[in-house]
Amino acid sequence: MFRHRGMPIVFAGPSLALVSQELRERLDLRPPARRGDLIGATIKVPPGTMLLIDGLFGTDLSVSPAECREVLKLGWTLVGASSMGALRASELWSVGMIGLGEVFAMYRLAIIRSDADVAVSIDPRTFEACTVSIVSIRAILSFLESRHLITAVSSRKLLMEARKIHWYERDWGQCIARWENVGLDPIALEQVRKLVASPCADPKQRDAAFAIACILARRWAWFSAMPYVGAIL
């Protein structure tokens, strides 16, 4: 059931692990968006703030750039972060869509380019992620590299191994098994197992929490510059 129409509308699912129930109660929280959901949310509702975090890939038609433009033309403040939202914001920042977070920054800086870099398989009942995204894998490898547990060359090789697994099937178990087979140090492997158990290690989770905090504080315009100042993975 949708909440009071004055609340920010947020389309999200698997990226919400770091968002408290208290904050969720302040949002008009809706499932990951498919094509038509954003426009549908504007019907008979005065323009407000809409945040796109998670969207459906593969199984349904995805939210299109044209749909996002239409929402903007209707006078809505449209913000994107974390996953599908970061991708669309990176494409549409020049026409007024606001992007927040590390993943948005990575798209804008062309560190990542494809929708497959944020795509995960989603449980249709719980909206939880069943697989792992490339941006999440990048974050883990970046951490290992920063702690000198792997080299930059090894990090690239491990990322290539993960990319060999189709996004709809890629999970941490398969990634760890492949990395073990190519000789990743046991100490590094143990660190990976610890990191993947924490949502805080996932940039998509961090970005979702960050973006929701920004729109609730109504300070998203100022915060939108922050990802460029700090950690670009």
Tens digit of pLDDT for each residue in 108-145? 999 999 899 999 999 988 999 999 999 999 999 999 99
pLDDT score for 220: 55
The total number of residues shown for the chain amounts to 233
**Phi/psi of residue 11, nearest 5 degrees:** -100, 110
pLDDT score for 101: 95
**What is the per-residue pLDDT across 163-172, written as a single tens digit (0 to 9) for each?**
999 988 999 9
pLDDT score for 14: 95
- More confident of the two residues 4 and 48: 48
By percentage, how much of the chain surpasses pLDDT 70?
91
**Model pTM?**
0.89
pLDDT score for 6: 76
Label residue 227 by pLDDT band (50, 70, 90): very low
- Rounded to 10 degrees, what is the CA torsion of 205, 211, 216, 219? 150
pLDDT score for 222: 46
Cα–Cα distance between 142 and 232 in angstroms, integer?
10
Which two three-digit tokens encode residue 23?
């904050």
DSSP string covering the chain? ----TTSPEEE-STT-TTS-HHHHTTSEEEPSB-TTHHHHHTTTS---EEEE--B--SSSPPPPHHHHHHHHHTT-EEEEETTHHHHHHHHHGGGT-EEESHHHHHHHTTS---GGGT---B-TTT--BSS--HHHHHHHHHHHHHTTSS-HHHHHHHHHHHHTS-TTT--HHHHHHHHHHTT--HHHHHHHHHHHT-GGG-HHHHHHHHHHHHHHHT-HHHHTTGGGTS---
Which two three-digit tokens encode residue 166?
């189709």
Cα–Cα distance between 156 and 61 in angstroms, integer?
32
- CA 196 vs. chain centroid, Å, equals 16
Cα–Cα distance between 78 and 39 in angstroms, integer?
12
By percentage, how much of the chain surpasses pLDDT 90?
83
Query: Residue 54: which of 13, 91, 88 has the closest Cα?
Result: 13
**Phi/psi of residue 81, nearest 5 degrees:** -160, 160
Q: Is the pLDDT of residue 87 over 50?
A: yes
Cα–Cα distance between 4 and 6 in angstroms, integer?
5
pLDDT score for 4: 52
- Mean pLDDT (whole number) for 168-184: 95
**What is the per-residue pLDDT across 17-66, written as a single tens digit (0 to 9) for each?**
999 999 999 999 999 999 999 999 999 999 999 999 999 987 678 999 99
User: Could you tell me which residues come within 8 angstroms of residue 228 by beta carbon, excluding any fewer than 6 positions away?
Assistant: 105
CB–CB of 34/55 below 8 Å?
yes
Label residue 176 by pLDDT band (50, 70, 90): very high
pLDDT score for 80: 97
